[in-house]
Amino acid sequence: MRIKAQVAMVMHLDKCIGCHTCSVTCKNTWTNRPGTEYMWFNNVETRPGPGYPKRWEDTGHYKGGWVLKNGKLQLKAGGPISKLINIFYNPDMASMDNYYEPWTYDYDNLIHSPKRENLPVGRPQSQITGKYIDKPEWGPNWDDDLAGGSETTSMDPTVEKLQEHISMEYEKTFMMYLPRICEHCLNPSCVASCPSGALYKRDEDGVVLVDQEACRGWRFCMSGCPYHKVYYNWNTHKAEKCNFCYPRTEAGLPTICSETCVGRIRYIGVVLYDADKVKAAASVEDPKDLYESQLSVFLDPFDPEVIKEAKKAGINNEWIEGAQNSPVYKMAMKWKIALPLHAEYRTLPMVWYVPPLSPIMNHITNEEELSTDGYIPAVDQMRIPIQYLASILAADDTEVIRNVLLKLTAMRVHMRGKTVGGIDEFRQSELLKEANTTPEEIEDMARLLGVAKYNERFVIPTGRREMDDDLYAKQGICSLEDLAPPEGIVTNMQRRR
């Protein structure tokens, strides 16, 4: 057992209102500068839809993530030899068309237009060439709320796969939102893809980063990441990616995207896992087994044995308590309502998603069919096809999705019974049984999902600075390293060197 801690996230898709505040606050903080125009460390996708970059889930084309070949785990894009062959031309890389050509407007013309015949206007301009364009042709959220209709929706690889389950017509419309950041995977294929070894996963919290000094701009991480969450800065010629706002999480603050999430869909907490089990977990044969095998990597933070081992591994009390109070542990591991995104990529992603509920289909008019209890609809009549959710969140295992939706529905029915009454007790208890849950568990869930206080959504111990550096000296020196005398009192830190 080799225990490590990971700071992980749950996104509750049922709560997501698709507002993109996360994308904007993230962008303002991290990627609001030349070279990063198209970088959305956080983006939100309307589903069904092709996503950003376009069709990123088409791993057949982009060859991101891992595959199992003869029982052995390897990069889908091939090993070091094929890297070397293609090092100056990566055939799998997404092009600007798959992202978009960033544009702006000639704003200045509005204020400084000379006298003219017509009302001045700010014409669209490419941010790449600086030239006027007539209109943008694609963007990072071009298909928001099903814009583009069946033409755009059918570009969704999942829609392609599930044609018979998806109808693109007014009466049967469904949609959901999928916010995405870097998955900070336990088995990150971007790290393995980098010829320079510039990507790494931090030991203390699992955040995956690009070393800006080591990056040589080969860009194999871009296609090597099946989620397409590493970007190339054309100005610095280095890769950049979501850093899980480590400057904030180190201070015990949630990521910008989480803190500013106005749907309050995001939860952050610590989970403990056995680093020695990662490879085996990613190597199970049947993709449908990957969800359970990933779960098997995580450790029960209340288990005295785990606590002992964790302390041995240098994980302090606060972090262990953090793991015990972790909303991520509760939702992903304990209640099993949060699922990994595309477990079949075998990267063991660490952003977990609760699948959304949806309205019943309108063609159902028989009242008896409408609901589980006279008020709350039955999961099998919901508008979002279970197959669609399963394709994204359960490697096509519809039972996994159904179980989560049942639990969420049982929660609503139970809470309605508790606050309003008038619910058929027999049907309610049948539902609890089918959903494999208890009133106690359900009420805990309702509290975390519904009341969801700030300190319950975000349980983040501060960074373990006491483990490194000479903090006594650092207290006065920090940020003034350039002014701190190379001679003078020799600190422990320097003495060690």
Partner 1 sequence: MRSKNKLFEALKHIKPGEKINDNWTEESKRPRDSEDIYRRRWQHDKIVRSTHGVNCTGSCSWKIYVKDGIITSETQQTDYPSTGDDFPEYEPRGCPRGASFSWYSYSPIRVKYPYIRSDLYELWKQERSKASDAVQAWETIVSDPQKREKYVKARGKGGFVRATWEDMCEIIASASIHTIKKYGPDRIAGFSPIPAMSMISYAAGTRFLSLIGGTILSFYDWYADLPPASPQVWGEQTDVPESADWYNSKYFIIWGTNLPQTRTPDAHFMVEARYNGTKVVGVSPDYAEYEKFADIWLPARAGTDAALAMAMTHVILKEFYVEKETHYFTSYAKKFTDLPFLVTIEENEDGKMRSDRFLRSSDIQKDLSLGEWKTLVWNELTNLLETPNGSMGFRWDGSNQWNLELNKEDGSSIDPRLSFIDHSDEIAMVEFPYFAEKSGNTLTRGVPVKNIKDINGKTLKVTTVYDLMMAHTGVDRGLAGDYPKDYNDPKPYTPAWQESITGVSKNHVTQVAREFADNAERTKGKSMIAMGGGTNHWYHSDHIYRAILNLVLLTGSQGVNGGGWAHYVGQEKVRPQEGWQQVAFANDWQKPPRLQNGTSYFYFVTDQFRYETKPDQEVKTDWASKYDQMHPADLNALAVRLGWLPSFPQFSQNSINLVKESRERGAKTEQEIIEDVVKQIKNEHIEWAIENPDDPRNFPRVFFNWRSNLLGDSGKGHEFFVKHLVGGDNQVMAEPENSWKPETVKAEGEGPTGKADLLVSVDFRMTSSGLFSDIVLPAATWYEKYDISSTDMHPFVHPFNAAVSPPWEAKSDWNTFREISRVFSELAEKHLPATEDLVMSPLAHDTEGEIAQSLGKIKDWRKGEVEPIPGKTMPSFKVVPRDYPNVYQKMTTIGDLIKKGYGGKGVTIPGEPVHDELSARLGTSSREGIGKGNPDLYTDKQAINAILLMSGATNGKRAVAGWKSLEAKTGQKLEEIAKAREEDDYTLEDLTIQPRTAISTPVWSGLEKDHRRYSPFTVNTEYNIPWRTLTGRQSFYMDHEMMLDFGEGLPLYLPPLNYDPFLKKEKGVEESGKSLTVRYLTPHQKWGIHTMFTDTTNMSTLFRGWQTIWMNEEDGASIDLKDNDFVEVYNRNGAIAARVVLTYRIPKGMVYMYHAQDRTLGVPATSINKQRGGTHNSVTRITLKPTHMIGGYSQLSYGFNYYGPTGHQRDTVAVIRALKEVDWLEN
296-355: which residues touch partner 1 (CB under 8 A)? Answer: none
b/e per residue 447-461 (b: at least 16 CB within 10 A): ebbeebeeeebbbbb
Q: Is 245 in the site for partner 1 (CB under 8 A)?
A: yes
Residue placing its CB nearer to partner 1 in the complex, 81 or 135: 135
Residue placing its CB nearer to partner 1 in the complex, 152 or 223: 152
Q: Is 165 in the site for partner 1 (CB under 8 A)?
A: no
Residue placing its CB nearer to partner 1 in the complex, 259 or 396: 259
Nearby residues of 62 by Cβ (< 8 Å), 6 or more positions away: 56, 92, 93, 94, 223, 226, 228
Structure tokens that stand for 379 in this block: 């999961």
Closest approach of partner 1 to the CB of residue 192, in Å: 9
Q: Is 252 in the site for partner 1 (CB under 8 A)?
A: no
Closest approach of partner 1 to the CB of residue 266, in Å: 11
Residue placing its CB nearer to partner 1 in the complex, 85 or 121: 121
Q: Which H or E run includes 419? A: helix 398-419
Q: Are strands 339-340 and 72-75 parallel, antiparallel or unpaired?
A: unpaired
Quick one: DSSP state of residue 37? T
Nearby residues of 121 by Cβ (< 8 Å), 6 or more positions away: 109, 110
81-140: which residues touch partner 1 (CB under 8 A)? Answer: 102-105, 107-108, 110-124, 132, 134-137, 139-140
Q: Is 487 in the site for partner 1 (CB under 8 A)?
A: no
Q: Is 233 in the site for partner 1 (CB under 8 A)?
A: no
Sole binder of partner 1 in the list 243, 294, 347, 428 (CB under 8 A): 243
Query: Which range in 77-85, 154-162, 174-182, 301-309 contacts partner 1 by CB under 8 A?
Result: 174-182
51-80: which residues touch partner 1 (CB under 8 A)? Answer: 73
Sole binder of partner 1 in the list 173, 436, 462, 492 (CB under 8 A): 173
347-406: which residues touch partner 1 (CB under 8 A)? Answer: 356-360, 362, 365-367, 370-371, 374-377
x/- mask, partner 1, residues 255-274, rule CB under 8 A, reads -x--xxxxxx----------
Q: Is 203 in the site for partner 1 (CB under 8 A)?
A: yes
Q: Is 427 in the site for partner 1 (CB under 8 A)?
A: no
Structure tokens that stand for 330 in this block: 């509760």
Residue 15 CA to residue 17 CA, distance in Å, equals 6
Q: 196, 65 in Cβ contact below 8 A?
A: no
456-485: which residues touch partner 1 (CB under 8 A)? Answer: 479, 481-482, 484
Binding-residue total with partner 1 (CB under 8 A): 134
Nearest-Å Rg of the Cα atoms of the chain is 25
Q: Is 417 in the site for partner 1 (CB under 8 A)?
A: yes
Q: Is 36 in the site for partner 1 (CB under 8 A)?
A: no
b/e per residue 196-225 (b: at least 16 CB within 10 A): eebbebbebbbbbbbeeeebeebbbbbbbb
Residue 220 CA to residue 229 CA, distance in Å, equals 12
Structure tokens that stand for 184 in this block: 């900070």
- How far, rounded to the nearest angstrom, does the alpha carbon of residue 251 sit from its chain's CA centroid? 21
Sole binder of partner 1 in the list 1, 21, 309, 334 (CB under 8 A): 21
Query: Which range in 59-67, 316-324, 328-336, 451-459 contacts partner 1 by CB under 8 A?
Result: 451-459
Nearby residues of 418 by Cβ (< 8 Å), 6 or more positions away: 443
Q: 395, 450 in Cβ contact below 8 A?
A: no
Residue placing its CB nearer to partner 1 in the complex, 82 or 494: 494
